[in-house]
């Protein structure tokens, strides 16, 4: 088995100074192999955005890593010096954000912004950068790329801006792309196009992608593997199809059931589809005993209050944090 490109190991992130920080990400572990597309799914506040930002050390002010490691290509990201960190960001990891409008500088033309990263990060001369910028825009599917170089961000549609964002982030052909809710601000049709583009880029550049989203449908379209986050913990991991067909954690199951299109899958399992999960996710810093999903879990038992949130392997490829495994007995597990 190849050495993973990215390893997140027992990562915890908290807010606030002093001894009692409010924990937002708890003991999270994740691996991404080269060229693999891994999804990180969960509702707002689950800690998924923070986790993905920590890979590049872009945790917002006030937050800090409390423990754990992030290793990229064998190197300890959290211990890198400023110069090495910038080099990492410039050449090896790229990131695209949720709102394509606010991630492009409104006062510069997109051509200038593209050329800047090409000149600074890839050392190109002005003319060469311009040609490369045109090529990049073409590759992300922007029509009339030469003319578009002169456009300002507000002159482009949401979908086009996101494509420009992707071009910018992948300009130095990084080995890993972090996509933080890249389609949330787009309409469904554009969404599909952008996801298509991401798949294309993985094919062409051999780039791994960490895709963060609250939308299971998005995850299903592109990811190879998925990790489900809740209350700062990862509660389940597994290959995308297996997870969909056979979720092992009650939260994952509830999540899938709240997706209208996937109700059919629930009906196949002869269960009554629910409209939503009653209750609310834990607040930032709220410390719950045992399993954090127990208060809302329909399968909860008294012993759940003493459980740790460690992932337990289920079958050959899945892992779940629910030790009760209420579904194991009723389903046959297929690898």
Partner 1 sequence: MSAAAVTPTPAPARRRPRLGRLLLLRGQPRTVQVGATIVGALVLAAIFAPLLAPYDQNELDFSNLLAAPSPDHLFGTDDSGRDVFSRTLYGLRIDLAIVFFVTYAALPIGVVAGAVAGYFGGWVDAVISRIVDVMLAFPFIVLVIAIVAITGPGVKGVLIGVPLVGWALYARLARSEMLVMREQPFMLATTALGYSRRRAILRHAVPNLIRTSLIYSTLDLVVNLMLLASVSYLGLGAQPPNAELGSVIAQGQANLLDAWWVATLPGLVLVAFGVGVGLVGDGLSDGKLLRRGARA
Partner 2 sequence: MLGYLLHRLALAVVVLFGLAVATFLIMHLVPGDPVQQTLGSRATPESIAFAREQLGLDDSLLAQFWAFVSNAVTGDLGYSLTLNAPVAEVVGQRVEPSALLIGYALLVSVVVGIPLAVIAAWRPNGVVDHAIRLLTTFAFAMPAFWVGLMLALVFGLGLKWFPVSGYETGIGGMLRTLTLPAITLGLTLSTIVARTLRSSLIEVLKSEYVEAATSRGLSPRRVMVKHAMRNAIMPTLTVLSVNLGLLIGYSIVVEAVFQIPGLGSLLLQSVQRRDYEIVQAIALIAGTAVVAISLATDLVQASIDPRVRLGR
Site residues, partner 2 (CB under 8 A):
56, 58, 86-91, 94-95, 97, 99, 102-108, 116-117, 120-121, 152, 154, 165, 168-169, 171
The verdict on 82 binding partner 1 (CB under 8 A) reads no
**319 SS3 class:** strand
Residues 6+ apart with CB under 8 A from 164: 100, 104, 110, 113, 114, 137, 140, 142, 153, 156
If contact means CB under 5 to 8 A according to the sort of partner, which of partner 2, partner 1, none does residue 89 touch? partner 2
For the CA atoms of 270, 46, 213, 224, the dihedral, rounded to the nearest 10 degrees, stands at: -70
Which residue in 116, 128, 6 sits closest to 72, CA to CA?
6
Query: To the nearest whole angstrom, how small is the minimum distance from the Cβ of residue 299 to partner 1?
Result: 16
The Cα–Cα gap between 85 and 98 comes to: 23
The answer to whether 84 and 56 are in contact (CB under 8 A) is no
Q: Which stretch binds partner 1 (CB under 8 A): 124-132, 139-147, 209-217, 242-250?
A: 209-217
Find the binder of partner 1 among 116, 215, 224, 263 (CB under 8 A): 215
Given the complex with partner 1, which of 81 and 276 has the nearer CB atom? 276
Given the complex with partner 2, which of 103 and 320 has the nearer CB atom? 103
The Cα–Cα gap between 65 and 297 comes to: 30
Find the binder of partner 1 among 33, 85, 259, 317 (CB under 8 A): 259
Question: Binding pattern to partner 1, positions 271-310, x when CB under 8 A?
Answer: ---xxxxxxxx-x---------------------------
Query: To the nearest whole angstrom, how small is the minimum distance from the Cβ of residue 232 to partner 2?
Result: 22
Q: Which two tokens stand for residue 97?
A: 């954000």
Q: How far is CA 283 from CA 24, 46, 263, in A?
A: 9, 9, 29
If contact means CB under 5 to 8 A according to the sort of partner, which of partner 1, partner 2, none does residue 58 touch? partner 2
């Amino acid at each position: 088995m190849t050495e993973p490109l990215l390893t997140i190991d027992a990562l915890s992130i908290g807010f606030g100074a002093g001894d009692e920080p409010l924990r937002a990400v708890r003991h999270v572990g994740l691996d991404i192999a080269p060229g693999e597309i891994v999804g990180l799914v969960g509702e707002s506040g689950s800690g998924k955005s923070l986790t993905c930002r920590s890979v590049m050390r872009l945790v917002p002010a006030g937050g800090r890593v409390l423990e754990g490691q992030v290793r990229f290509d064998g190197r300890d990201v959290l211990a890198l010096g400023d110069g090495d960190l910038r080099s990492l960001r410039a050449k090896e990891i790229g990131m695209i954000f949720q709102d394509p409008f606010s991630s492009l500088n409104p006062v510069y033309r997109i051509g200038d912004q593209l050329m800047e990263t090409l000149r600074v990060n890839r050392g190109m001369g002005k003319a060469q950068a311009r040609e490369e910028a045109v090529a990049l825009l073409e590759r992300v599917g922007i029509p009339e790329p030469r003319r578009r170089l002169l456009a300002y961000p507000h002159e482009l549609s949401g979908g086009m801006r996101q494509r420009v964002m992707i071009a910018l982030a992948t300009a130095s052909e990084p080995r890993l792309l972090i996509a933080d809710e890249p389609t949330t601000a787009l309409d469904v049709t554009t969404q599909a196009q952008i996801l298509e583009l991401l798949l294309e880029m993985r094919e062409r550049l051999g780039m791994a992608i960490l895709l963060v989203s609250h939308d299971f449908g998005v995850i299903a379209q592109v990811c190879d593997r998925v990790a489900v986050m809740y209350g700062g913990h990862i509660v389940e991991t597994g290959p995308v199809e297996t997870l969909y067909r056979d979720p092992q954690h009650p939260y994952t199951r509830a999540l899938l059931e709240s997706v209208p299109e996937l109700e059919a899958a629930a009906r196949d399992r002869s269960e009554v589809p629910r409209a939503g999960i009653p209750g609310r996710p834990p607040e930032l810093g709220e410390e719950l005993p045992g399993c954090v999903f127990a208060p809302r879990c329909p399968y909860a038992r008294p012993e759940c209050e003493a459980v740790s949130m460690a992932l337990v392997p289920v079958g050959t490829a899945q892992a779940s944090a629910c030790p009760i495994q209420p579904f194991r007995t009723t389903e046959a597990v297929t690898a």
